[in-house]
Amino acid sequence: MNIAITLTVNGVVRQAEVPGRRLLSDCLRHDLGLTGTHVGCEHGVCGCCTVLLDGEPVRSCLTFAVTVDGHDITTVEGLAAPGGAMSPVQRAFAECHGLQCGFCTPGFLCTVTALLRDNPAPSEEEVLEGISGNLCRCTGYQNIVKSVHRAAEIMAEES
């Protein structure tokens, strides 16, 4: 039996009819066509599927779509400015080579976006702590850490 839900995704009101067991990750990817959110483990460990739920990072693979009916969701597709200009976090990742295969990247971008909103000038420790729930198998994290600091810098320059 399908349940009708309404979500605001990246500022746009979207509707879907989903079974109760539909994961939010699958709903975003397959029902709404937003395939930028990736699924690396489906058991809540890798962080690839991280999206912002009412601004806070959550694992969309551990969230049933029906439980977020009426809520606001931001995915990687919604991080750039409406005109398409990449956000400071996205630009910093490009500048610092913070991604290789790019599979983990959407999760990191969402996590870091929330991290820097709450703490615009994090220390090294705070950055490590902040991204310590996301796995990356390619980069060895060094350039991701660098990207986070650089994003903070860009945000400070532009504010």
Partner 1 sequence: MTTKLFGEPVRRREDPRLLTGQGRYLDDLGGDALAAAFVRSPHAHARIRDIDVSAAIDVDGLVAIYTWEDLPALLAQPLPLLIPHPALTHGRTAHPLARDLVRHVGEPVVMVVARDRYLAEDACALIRVDYEILKPVVGVEEAAQSAQLVHGDVPGNVGAHLVQEVPSAAGLGAREAIETAPHTLAFRLDIERSASMPLEGRGVYARWDADDRSLRVYTSTQTSTSVRMAIAAKLGLPLPKVEVIAPDVGGGFGVKIVHPWPEEVLVPWAAILLDREVKWAEDRREHFVSSAHERAQVQSVRVGFDDDGRVLGLEVNILHDHGAYTPYGIIVPIITSTQLLGPYKIGAYRVEFSSIYTNTVQVTPYRGAGRPQAVFCMERTMDHIAAHLGADRTAVREVNFIRPDEFPYDQGLIFQDGRPLIYDSGDYPESLRMLKELIGWDSFPEAKAQAAAEGRRIGIGIGCYVEGTGVGPYEGGHVQITSDGRVHVSTGLTSQGQGHETVFAQIAAAELGVPLERVSVVTGDTRRFGYAVGTFASRAAVMSGNAIALACRKVREKALRIAADALEAAPGDLEIVDGEVRVLGAPGSSIPLATVAVLSNPLRYAFDEEAARATQFAGTSAFDRPPVEEGQEPGLEGRDYYSPLRSTFASGMHAAIVETDPLTAEIRILRYAVVHDCGNLINPMIVEGQIHGGVAQGVGGALYERMVYDEHGQLLNASFMDFLMPYATEIPRVETAHLQTPSPLNPLGIKGAGEAGVIPVSAVIASAIEDAEGIGIDRMPISPSDLFDLRRASTGRSTSET
Residue 32's contacts (CB-CB under 8 Å, 6 or more residues apart) are 7, 9, 14, 16
- Binding residue (CB under 6 A) for ligand FES from 3, 14, 31, 39: 39
47 token code pair: 């962080």
Could you tell me the strand order of the sheet in which 50-53 lies? Answer: 12-19, 2-9, 72-74, 50-53, 56-59
- Rounded to 10 degrees, the C-alpha dihedral 47/79/55/145 comes to 50
Smallest separation (angstroms) from partner 1 to the CB of 36: 2
Candidate segments 8-16, 81-89, 103-111, 114-122, binder of ligand FES by CB under 6 A? 103-111
Cα 155 from Cα 82, distance rounded (Å): 17
Does 33 engage in binding with partner 1 (CB under 8 A)? Answer: yes
79 binds partner 1 (CB under 8 A): yes
Q: Do 102 and 123 meet the contact criterion of CB atoms below 8 Å apart?
A: no
Does residue 154 touch partner 1 according to CB under 8 A?
no
Burial class of residue 7 in the structure, from the number of CB atoms within 10 Å of its CB (0-12 exposed, 13-18 middle, 19+ buried): buried
Identify how many contiguous H helices and E strands the chain contains and give both numbers: 5, 5
- The reply on whether position 24 binds partner 1 by CB under 8 A is no
Confirm or reject binding of residue 4 to partner 1 (CB under 8 A): no
Rank residues 12 and 70 by Cβ distance to partner 1 and give the closer one: 12
Single out the residue of 46, 109, 145, 148 in contact with ligand FES (rule: CB under 6 A). 46
Q: Which residues bind partner 1 (CB under 8 A)?
A: 19, 21-22, 29-30, 33-43, 45-46, 48, 75-77, 79-80, 86, 90, 93-95, 97, 99-106, 109, 128-129, 131-145
- Residues within the interface to ligand FES (CB under 6 A): 39-42, 44-49, 59, 61, 99-105, 136-139
